[in-house]
Structure 1
């Protein structure tokens, strides 16, 4: 085998391509190694088997998917506007992926079933982003909430239906998202504002 300089990013790129080609059930570590022209043992220096590698692919995919959400957190907007934009982005980012990259989205759905730790970490990240904006809103006097963590969980749960693939084809999807998000924001608002 030819010597190649390996790192996690190179392996993840190769694994993603192999998963795209064969699907997450049929693809294996040997396929990834073959595509990199290394022995499969070389990959075990970086990942402890197929599950570990597939989890890393899923985690990276989710992280890349939510780059726009991280940008929203950095915006110089009042919390109510920022929360509306964040929740709208959460709802639309997976739908856009399903439309623009259906093969990887389908693979993500299959991978996600076996990657509960990765999915839970992603959900926790979403809740933390919502909480950050709620805390900002409390500081600004826009939101009135005694328990920002619990409020963030409730907001996440109330909008999570829009990240499910079953909602992607709903003709009233955009209107429904806006209605739910506006209702949630009104519920968080300081009654004195």
Structure 2
């Protein structure tokens, strides 16, 4: 299949890049491999991405967005903030583990890509913190949470649960129990007006 300038777009390039990364790994894969798989010149790829770093960052960013897509639905749930936060944090800590099980090649590649995509990782982290903050603010309005500084509270909640997104935690036989205990502790702390 020959793609011309009109039919080539960022989504097609990202799909091809993911396949190339799966096949060769992030270190060995390059823009020429992506171009070859699309049957275009590497210059055609440069019209959309200014080099390998930009393309690999875009793949990492899309991957992170896709694994956390369910959290958008959680934010729209018609629940009180404490229930919504529990569901959100449960999904947050399980998203990467699900990816490791369902798409192990891309997960392994993500770990390698993430080491060189700190700007993308920081953006994803800030997005997670902002989503938690949104739920905390809802809880303050509902009179469920009593927090003076919602953004700082969201950072603390993110940090307390981020231990569960590390691959070393995925095989822990007490993982689910530990997640539930930590999340319940955090929610109780947000509800405590005597901090």
Name the TM tier (shorter chain).
over 0.9
Whole-Å separation in 2 of the counterparts to 1:24 and 1:3:
24
| CA offset digits 1:103-150 (Å, max 9, x no partner) | 000000000000000000000000000000000000000000010000
Cα shift at 1:2: 4.0
Note if 1:157 corresponds to 2:155. no
Provide the residue aligned with 1:23 in structure 2. Answer: 25
Cα shift at 1:190: 4.6
Give the unaligned 5+ runs of structure 1. Answer: none
Within the candidate set 49, 57, 60, 2:59 is matched to 57
Provide the residue aligned with 1:107 in structure 2. Answer: 109
Do the aligned residues in 2 keep the contact of 1:29 with 1:40 (CA within 8 Å)?
A: yes
Do the aligned residues in 2 keep the contact of 1:91 with 1:159 (CA within 8 Å)?
A: yes
Cα shift at 1:3: 4.4
The two structures have a TM-score, normalised by structure 1, of 0.97
Output the aligned Cα RMSD: 1.2
Whole-Å separation in 2 of the counterparts to 1:54 and 1:41:
16
Displaced runs of 4+ in structure 1, greater than 4 A?
none
Whole-Å separation in 1 of the counterparts to 2:102 and 2:95:
10
Give the unaligned 5+ runs of structure 2. Answer: none
The two structures have a TM-score, normalised by structure 2, of 0.96
Whole-Å separation in 2 of the counterparts to 1:43 and 1:91:
35
Cα shift at 1:191: 3.8
Find the residue that maps to 1:38 and give its secondary structure: coil
Provide the residue aligned with 2:88 in structure 1. Answer: 86
Note if 1:124 corresponds to 2:122. no
